[in-house]
Structure 1
Amino acid sequence: MNEFSESHDTDAVREFTVSDADAGPYALTEGPDGALWFTLVHRGAVARRDPDDGLVTVHPVGDGPTVITAGPDGALWFTEYRAQRIGRITPEGDYSSFAPLTPGGGPFGITAGPDGAIWFTLSSADRVGRVTVDGDITEYPAPGAFPSALTTGPDGALWCTLNQGNAVGRLTVDGHGTAYPLPTEGAAPVGIAAGPDGALWFTEIGAGRIGRITVDGDITEYPLSGPAAKPHAVTAGPDGALWFTEWGSGRVGRITVDGRLTSYALSGADCEPHGITAHDGALWCALETGSLARIEVQP
């Protein structure tokens, strides 16, 4: 267990060192215990930041823990990209894992589904999986190539980005898939989140755009500063806007549901922000260089 140290502080942004640069904080989520949980992708560990004193506890898990989410069973669930497993850890640190049916599938995205199960993508196998809290696994063909992030939509279906299919996919809980091609070639979508407006919002890391898709498949795209921004992850904020990381520019962006954009600089253009989540009334993102950044919601 070690306590964070603050490394960057502005009016809106504070950064806290939580690991050395080689550990690679990658994705994060608020746990059922009110703490902030995050993956250390290069260390093979999941860590917990205490909400009261900021102490960080590190738990060894399988190789390459990547995306993490709170499950319906009071535990945290995450993908182990290199170990090719789905991991589960309780707030007390008890760890277990489950092997997908397809070997070498490259589990990446993960989310709590509308049916009380956990859903995940197998990016390298073009499949989407479902695991119950008891560990029973089912898999379905993805509606396109290289499914990446996924989330539960307001329509009770799973929505995912199809990074190499240049599309957004929809999958019902019984495995029926639909793909919606993107207007921009080479968009390479990655992150996706349900917005407060009843639509899904996603990042286009290849085109430097933020996208919005309705449950009927209508798509709108909003350009950022350019492709070099490389937007990666996106989440709904406590202020009714969408927040996203710009991996290429070392910034966090904010977009309102009517398309107005603002952004916040982090400690450096090379700090590699990846995952982002709402926590304790603010936005938090993981910097692969070893820190967590807290972005205050401005009035």
Structure 2
Amino acid sequence: MQKDQSMKLISRRKAIGGLLTTGAILSAGLFATPSAFASSHVRLDQPTVTKFKATIKTSQIALKHVKVSGKTSKVAPKNYTLKTNTQASLLSAQDAQATFSAYPVKTTSDPTLGKIVTGDDGSSFWFAETGANRIGKITTQGAITEYLLPISGYNPTSIANGPGDTFWFPYVSDSTSFIGRMIGASGQVTLYQLPISISSETAITRGPNDTLWFVNGNNQIGSVTADGTIKTYTLDGVRWTQDIAQGPDGALWFTYTGNTTPQSGVARFTTDGSLTFYPVTDAGMAQITTGRDNDLWFAVFEDELGSEQKNVGRITTSGTLTRYYMPQLKDNSYPYSIAYLGNGTFAFGTVQEGAKGSSHEYVGIITPAGDVQAFDTPNADQVFFMTYAGWANEIWFTSTSYSYKGRDKVYKFRLTN
């Protein structure tokens, strides 16, 4: 895969050896001090849609099973007062088939928006601002509130729903790192310190028994509980990890790149340390999400060797792999994000390859039968992370441009037919 350093969210980091252990907990009470931002409304070009049939290839893939061991320990607190600010600014684009509404995030010149998740209240979405040391919240009406996190020089890399209206995030710097927990209703923040740095590629998800699990972007997987218990594992043969999700079988599934050929694949990890690799050939792995009763879907950014591999994949818990190839996607746009919409239907979003630029980026809808509808995003804005709203035909996603400042937005995409 071509590795361009200007693509921060898909850059790769060198593996960090050794096991993570625990450090200290930081507990922070957060109090809002809102300041208002002016709203504006601008009409965008109407989105276009491309309909086609994806080429489907299905196979049974070989697996490698190993057992890994981890270390467990606990940790203790300091208090901070945090600040918030609010803003609301709406752009919209609509045709007979779909609507895009865009909400710019503009409190800094380059907030670099990350993962987005649906709030427990059903009327808000929460997202990481990976370049601005903030957690953001947006309501279904487009009102944005940002929470400035307590330590300068740190940034959240991802975000996940936890139990009881909490949101968890990896919190990284060039030196020490944390796993953070934020209570949505009160704004209280707790930080669980890790003794060594984790990568800016770290992803996190909610796992079994309300424990939060993360892959650190390198060769480690770890868990953290609300009482401060952290457990980490080093994954032999893994060069870096991309994304993680709890599967329909209760195990943790993550995308990875390894040290041997085939270099990429999907791995299954259980809480007792059982690890199974499912190698996927000709693939640069991106995000993964749980599907129906027995499957997970993932985005393939491109082939590790650089050939074009515009596809998404489906893997069952028994190891059956199905690839959906979509060469109809134009220019340098590649699948990167994915979300489950229900009834077997999935959404995917594209980003550009490297920093080459693209005049087409898409939000696409795909079925297991390979039927695809791909909608051009306004201004060819990239689709880095997406979440299903929880009601029919609506997706929210974050978009960041590394070429043009001021193009960081939260989007609402809604099918209207």
Q: TM-score, normalised by structure 1?
A: 0.79
Percent of aligned pairs with the same amino acid: 30
2:126 matches 1:69: no
The one of 172, 180, 188 aligned to 1:129: 180
In the alignment, is residue 159 of structure 1 matched against residue 204 of structure 2? no
Q: Matches of residues 1-299 of structure 1 in structure 2 within 5 Å?
A: 2=44, 3-7=46-50, 9-10=52-53, 53-62=97-106, 63-73=111-121, 74-124=123-173, 125-133=176-184, 134-142=186-194, 145-146=198-199, 148-164=202-218, 166-186=219-239, 188-205=240-257, 207-226=263-282, 229-248=283-302, 249-266=309-326, 267=329, 270-281=332-343, 282-289=345-352, 290-298=361-369
Counterpart amino acid of 1:265?
Y
Retained in 2: the 8 A contact 1:203–1:231?
yes
> In the aligned structure 1, how far is the partner of 2:229 from the partner of 2:310?
38
Residue number in structure 1 paired with 2:408 = none
Structure 1 moving runs of 4+ over 3 Å: 45-50
Q: C-alpha distance in 2, partners of 1:46/1:264?
A: 34
Once the two structures are superposed, residues 74-118 of structure 1 have per-residue CA deviations (whole angstroms, 9 ceiling, x without a partner) of: 310001112221100000001010122232323121111023211
Can you list the C-alpha shifts for 1:140-191, whole angstroms capped at 9, x where unaligned? 1248622611111022200000113x011111112221112213141x1120
Please say if residues 190 and 203 of structure 1, whose CA atoms lie closer than 8 Å, have aligned partners that are also in contact. Answer: yes
Give the 3-state SS of the residue equivalent to 1:83 in structure 2.
coil
Q: Which digits, 9 at most, give the CA deviation of each residue in 1:203-239, with x for residues without a partner?
A: 004531211001212110110104xx22111000135
Q: Structure 2: which amino acid aligns with 1:271?
A: S
**Structure ranking higher on relative contact order (CA contacts 8 Å, 6+ apart):** 2
Distance in 2, matches of 1:46 and 1:110, equals: 24
Contact 2:238 2:256 in 1 (8 A): no
Which structure 1 segments of 5+ residues have no match? 14-44
Aligned CA RMSD, in angstroms, stands at 2.7
Query: How many residues were matched structurally?
Result: 263
Q: Please tell me the residue identity of whatever aligns with 2:320.
A: R
Gap runs ≥5 in structure 2: 1-42, 57-88, 303-308, 353-360, 371-417
Aligned counterparts of 2:255 and 2:93: Cα–Cα separation in 1: 27
Could you say which structure has the larger radius of gyration? 2
Q: Is the 8 A contact 2:287 2:336 kept in 1?
A: yes
